């Protein structure tokens, strides 16, 4: 008899110890691939996002500045990215756990993303350790998770404003970060971000695909609906410069990118 997919997702999401969350996420993905998890289970589960005692979470404007010219500044920058990857594990788990009645492929996609984000976290955490620090050594902010909380009631809004908005901002931010690291002589960290950027294009692309799928089901025009959601939920509007090549690869149209920049408040 198969175990409940949603119970397994809730258990991984609730884990507060880092290594436990990673292990549960990897095991969940393996169990899913082996057909051991029932995605049609209708039993209720309580969803609580577990996180370790550190890092201290502060408002985005209080997050420390990260000057890549110093070793500690580069470590702080990498720590911020490690924190994003840890949060992204929780986000993918929550995408799959919270919303029922969707096609099986929806759950397959976000379980796969959770496992990939766990891999990213391990990869970047190891580099952070090589720089003499570890995850939790510096404060971080919870902007990504705050938007997840604002979109708990609607999977369409979740797809629009988490992967398609906030995670897409990472596509814009990564190349400038890489250039700063290269200028500081940290080629190793810059090249690790090549892997992250490649995979994140795929993750944003999944958000785009499911957003458009849900809009079609509801008879909504996607690009107009997206801009309306930005306004209605007081979400941060995309800002120039955009990584146009990465966003086009993730499913945005060139017309939409132009419209977003033209209509931003």
User: Which residues are CB-contacts of 162 (< 8 A; sequence separation ≥ 6)?
Assistant: 91, 95, 144, 147, 148, 151, 207
CA–CA gap between residue 258 and residue 164 (Å, rounded): 16
- Give the pLDDT confidence of 102-160 residue by residue, as tens digits: 999 999 999 999 999 999 999 999 999 999 999 999 999 888 899 999 999 999 999 99
Determine the pLDDT at residue 66: 66
- Give the pLDDT confidence of 188-228 residue by residue, as tens digits: 999 999 999 999 999 999 999 999 999 999 999 999 999 99
Task: Please choose, from the candidates 76, 115, 178, 74, the residue with its C-alpha nearest in 3D space to the C-alpha of residue 107.
Answer: 115
For residues 70 and 208, the model is more confident at 208
How many other CB atoms are found less than 10 A from the CB of residue 227? 17
pLDDT band at 265 (very low <50, low <70, confident <90, very high): confident
Owner of token pair 């000057």: 67
**pLDDT above 80: residue 64:** no
CA–CA gap between residue 152 and residue 98 (Å, rounded): 8
Cβ(97)–Cβ(10) under 8 Å? yes
Task: Please choose, from the candidates 247, 257, 251, the residue with its C-alpha nearest in 3D space to the C-alpha of residue 211.
Answer: 251
Query: Phi and psi dihedrals of 44, rounded to 5?
Result: -70, 150
| Bond from prior residue into 55 cis (ω within 30 degrees of 0) | yes
Cβ(203)–Cβ(247) under 8 Å? no
- Give the pLDDT confidence of 231-254 residue by residue, as tens digits: 999 999 999 999 999 999 999 999
Residue 53 carries which DSSP code? S
Q: With the C-alpha atoms ordered 175, 230, 96, 244, is the resulting torsion angle positive or negative?
A: negative
Two structure tokens written together for 260: 């977003």
Two structure tokens written together for 120: 């990213």
Determine the pLDDT at residue 5: 97
């Amino acid at each position: 008899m198969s175990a409940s997919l949603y119970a397994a997702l809730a258990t991984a999401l609730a884990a507060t110890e880092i290594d436990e969350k990673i292990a549960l996420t990897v095991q969940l993905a393996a169990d899913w691939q082996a057909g051991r998890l029932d995605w049609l289970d209708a039993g209720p589960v309580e969803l609580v996002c577990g996180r370790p005692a550190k890092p201290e979470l502060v408002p985005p404007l209080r997050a420390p500045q990260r000057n890549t010219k110093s070793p500690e500044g580069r470590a702080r920058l990498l720590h911020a990215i490690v924190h994003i990857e840890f949060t992204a594990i929780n986000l993918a788990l929550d995408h799959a756990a919270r919303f029922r009645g969707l096609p099986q492929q929806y759950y397959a996609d976000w379980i796969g993303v959770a496992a990939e984000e766990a891999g990213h976290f391990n990869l970047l955490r190891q580099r952070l350790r090589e720089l003499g620090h570890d995850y939790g050594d510096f404060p971080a902010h919870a902007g990504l998770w705050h938007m997840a909380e604002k979109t708990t009631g609607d999977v369409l809004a979740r797809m629009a404003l988490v992967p398609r908005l906030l995670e897409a901002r990472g596509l814009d931010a990564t190349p400038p970060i890489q250039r700063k690291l290269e200028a500081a002589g940290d080629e190793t960290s810059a090249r690790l971000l090549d892997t992250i950027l490649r995979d994140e294009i795929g993750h944003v692309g999944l958000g785009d695909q499911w957003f458009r799928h849900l809009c079609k089901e509801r008879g909504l025009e996607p690009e107009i609906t997206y801009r309306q959601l930005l306004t209605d939920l007081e979400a941060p509007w995309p800002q120039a410069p955009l990584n146009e090549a990465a966003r086009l690869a993730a499913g945005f149209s060139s017309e939409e990118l132009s419209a977003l920049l033209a209509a931003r408040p």
